[in-house]
Amino acid sequence: MQQLTRILLLLILALVYTGCGNGEGDDQRTDTREAEPELTEFELEHGIGPVTERLDIGDLNVERARRGADIFDRRCTACHRMGRRFVGPPLGEVTEMRSPEFLINFILNPEEMTNRHPVGQELLQDYMTIMPYQNVTKEQAIEIVDFLRYYAETGEDLRD
């Protein structure tokens, strides 16, 4: 009997000390950081960003390359050189290593490319800095790619 009373009192005690919780809510903290989806084959090859399929940017267009030289001069030269490492990697041969789509995605979406793409992550380890988003349009990014393609093919820097 004494045992039963004790059990009853313990139950009441438990109620007094737990009964005031507001039920739901307490354990409803949700982690807002969702699991990152795996990268697709396309993303691994051509980068993550607004370009999600192959672009047919055609053959090297010299006029486009000249416009790209001007944008490159204003938006990129704080950190990039053609033939050597500076704040960022050398770009003289980058078009031979990466697809136009990859470069355009990197220019237009640098933060996600650095955070999620294995190439971006590797570059961050090497250069310790994330490329700034420089608010260029997709068309301007294509022009920059043509400027780089022109340099890679001819060795001529259209900014000169």
- Of 46-105, binders to other proteins (CB under 8 A) are 73-75, 77-79, 86-87
Beta carbons of 113 and 122 less than 8 angstroms apart: no
Q: How far apart are CA 104 and CA 140, in angstroms?
A: 9
| Helix/strand number for the chain, H first, E second | 8, 0
**Binding residue for other proteins (CB under 8 A) from 1, 4, 16, 35?**
16
**Binding residue for other proteins (CB under 8 A) from 8, 12, 62, 97?**
12
Q: How far is the CB of 145 from other proteins (least distance, A)?
A: 18
- Is 157 a binder of other proteins (CB under 8 A)? no
Write the CA distances from 103 to 31, 36, 73, 100, 148, integer angstroms: 33, 22, 17, 5, 10
- Is 21 a binder of other proteins (CB under 8 A)? yes
- CB neighbour list of residue 87: distance below 8 Å, 6 or more residues apart: 78, 79, 80, 127, 129
Q: For other proteins, which is the closer residue by CB, 45 or 73?
A: 73
Contacting residues toward other proteins, per CB under 8 A: 6, 9-10, 12-13, 16-17, 19-22, 73-75, 77-79, 86-87, 128-130, 132-136
